A and B are shown apart, each in its own frame.
Chain A
């Protein structure tokens, strides 16, 4: 196998790339389905929270998370058809943060679709973000699947426009996850009307995949693991056979099934969040279906963070969680049971002590 024309440095580089690729999740859909046009993959990177210190200094820890996700996504084989960035590229929505994050994302070899997070939005209401990513909400068709991006992190006009003396304060009030001065997220009537119209031309059996930053379901209001008009959005999606919602914001593995709609969360590249059940004073509704990820080990900086490769299997998704310092996980729609399931941990006895959250 040794190629004499290859110098030592190139050889080491290639070997390193192979070793890294060997630890990446492998897609299995090509074996599973007859119609290859309906089987493809895309990658999902989210919640990088690039945080400006001053001048050209940014928080190193968060930078490393995004740099690693981008580098590993570029090694995927087969190549994903596109990448989604799931929101919160910035921590406080500033131009230096968005620019620095975009510089890292620009190293991706694929087209990137952006989803707006509250940390990108509440400084200038998404103006600079639009220059980098485009519309706040949009849709497109790809290999028979209808993809929709929603801006789910809007809130009451009074909170957004009248309550805070400065844009900086508005941003920092919304940036604190547990800040009681924050406000519940919502998609809003205007966008719901747009969604209704956008979907009206589709056949009932067209697979629909929605990307939002917040969950379009209600889990815990105190940390905005919540979208206030979730039921109204679900109502619009109800008419289709196969609907999947993929969301960021929660920095942890969650999944659920409500009627025909499958819900999957994605990991953050920056830091993990505790499950709401570990806040003793909270009333929360983590979906019963969800088998939690491991509790984070703080001594491993990238533990409980990661990114996803997503298999699109005839309109339903399989999420391959690429977890940097943990065993990778796969949560896939099971056609038999009609809900997303973990490929390994669903048997009770296979769960391990770090999956207990308190």
Chain B
């Protein structure tokens, strides 16, 4: 009984904040707004892609990967044979930051890492998922 009461209070609080309490009921405008939110991360990711701040030697991601090409986000997670185990793309992003860029790896949950993943996925949009592919 106490729990119901708490949920009810929380729902009232959410309504007060203007946040929808019903699942699955969103408008085209909502979807457009959310897509725009995603695109802000794509833009932030692109800015990092050409930024010398990720590393220490001035080298940027785009030097070897113009438009994020040859990063294959659709193939991850995959067995990265040089490391001998299955990894997510973010581990390769950090490998590149550590090695060619001579920088400090990003926290995998950092907004920067999410932005880079958002950018790479955007440049690769339309390509079929092929997890594990080499």
A and B bind = yes
**How many positions in chain B have a CB within 8 Å of any CB in the partner chain?**
24
Given contacts A280-B126, A297-B82, A358-B72, contact A222 B57 (CB under 8 A): no
A178–B72 touching, CB < 8 Å: no
A176 touches B62 (CB 8 A): yes
Please tell me if B64 contacts chain A, counting CB pairs below 8 Å: yes
Query: What number of A residues sit within 8 Å (CB to CB) of B?
Result: 31
A274 lies within 8 A of B58 (CB) = no
Describe A's contact surface by its main secondary structure: loop
Q: Which residue of A lies closest to B50 (CB)?
A: A176
Asked whether, in the complex, the Cβ of B82 is within 8 Å of the Cβ of A178, the reply is no
A281 touches B57 (CB 8 A): no
Given contacts A278-B69, A295-B70, contact A53 B62 (CB under 8 A): no
B57 pairs with A59, CB closer than 8 A: yes
B contact patch SS: loop
- CB of A301 to closest CB in B, whole Å: 8
Contact status B70-A278, CB under 8 Å: yes
Task: Say yes or no: B100 contacts A274, CB within 8 Å.
Answer: no
What does the 1/0 interface line of A157-195 toward B look like (CB < 8 Å)? 000000000000000000011110000000000000000
A348 contacts the other chain (CB 8 A) = no
Tell which of A176, A177, A272, A280 touches B127, judged by Cβ atoms closer than 8 Å: A280
* Cβ-neighbour of A178 out of B66, B96, B99, B134 (below 8 A): B66
State in angstroms the CA–CA spacing of A278 and B64 once bound together: 13
> B100 — nearest CB in chain A belongs to which residue?
A61
Q: Mask for B17-28, Cβ within 8 A of A = 1, else 0? A: 000000000000
Nearest CB of chain B from residue A132's CB, rounded to whole Å:
22
Residue among B58, B67, B72, B95 making CB contact with A222, cutoff 8 Å? B67
